[in-house]
A = this chain, B = another copy of it.
Amino acid sequence: MSGSLVVVGTGPGKAELMTPATLAALAKATDLVGYGPYLDRVPVTRPDQRRHASDNRVELERARHALSLAASGREVVVVSGGDPGVFAMAAAVFEAVETGDPAWRALDIRVEPGVTAMLAAAAEVGAPLGGDFCAISLSDNLKAWTIIERRLHAAAEADFVIALYNPASKARPHQLARAFELLRAIKAGDTPVLFVRAAGTTEAAAIATTLAAADATQADMRTLVIVGASTTRRIGRWVSTPRGAKP
C-alpha cells in the first residue's frame, strides 16, 4: 500500500490561476482521475501519465476508482475545478473512504487548496465578498430543496452576502427563480445581484443588476451568482461590500 492520492483544483480556468503546488502534484502523478473538461486544463508533462476521464455526476464512483488505483501503488491525482474542497471532489473522496475498503484509511491522502469560483467571480467585479458571506449550492441532486430554502432564508435574514454555486442546469432550470423569489420577500429590491459567467477564464463576463430586476434565465452551468448584503453597493464600475456593518 505505497501509493498516494492528492485531490487538487485547477482553479477557475486560466492556467495563471492554478497554484504551483497543484501544478507540481499534477506533474508528479502517474494517474489523473477527473471529469473530462477539468483534465483538459492540465498540461501534458509526462508521456507515461495515464488519464482517466469520466462523466459529470459520478463523483463517488470516480473517487472509488482513484482510491483503488492508489491502493495498487499508483501516484494518483484527482482533478477538480476551482478548489477541490468547495462543492467538488475532496468530500466525495472522503465519503468513498468512509464506505469503502478499510485499507484505504491507511493511504497517503492529501488535499491541495485552489481558487474557488466565488473568489474569481468576486475579483471580476470588485469586492462583493468584502463582508461576512455564505456559499450555497442550489443543486438538489444530493440535498433536499427544503434545506436549501432554509439556508437562503437564514442567510437573507442575517444579511450575509450570498454566493450561489450551481445556480442552474438543463436538468434544473427553475431553482434560481425560486431562490430569487424567496430572497425578494426578505431583502430590498435594490440589493445588487451579480451574474458572473466563466469567471477566471478569458471568456469572463459579468452582469450587475438588482434583486428586483434579476432574471434567473441569465444563469447557466458556468455562472456564479452573488446576491449582496444590505451594505453592498456600486462604486463607479465596481461592486463592493464594505468591511464594516452597523446594527
Contacts and interface: CB of A to CB of B under 8 A. Distances in A.
Given A154-B154, A247-B146, A119 B114 contact: yes
Candidate in A128, A155, A200 with the most chain B CB atoms within 10 angstroms: A155
Contacts of A154: 154-155, 157-158, 160
A121 to B, nearest CB: 9
A129 interface: yes
A116 interface: yes
A243 B93 CA distance: 11
Interface in A188-247: 200, 233, 235-238, 240-247
A130 interface: yes
A15 to B, nearest CB: 7
A69 interface: no
Given A150-B158, A154-B157, A240 B90 contact: yes
Taking chain A's interface residues, is the majority helix, strand, or loop, or is none over half, making it mixed? mixed
A190 to B, nearest CB: 17
Nearest to A144: B247
Interface stretch (A27-35, A36-44, A105-113): A105-113
A127 B115 contact: no
A50 interface: no
A86 interface: yes
Interface residues of A, number: 81
A20 interface: yes
A46 interface: no
A94 B246 contact: no
A3 interface: no
Given A17-B20, A86-B119, A143-B243, 15 more contacts: A17-B19, A20-B20, A85-B127, A85-B129, A86-B129, A90-B130, A93-B127, A95-B240, A105-B236, A111-B124, A111-B126, A111-B127, A133-B135, A142-B245, A143-B244
A144 B238 contact: no
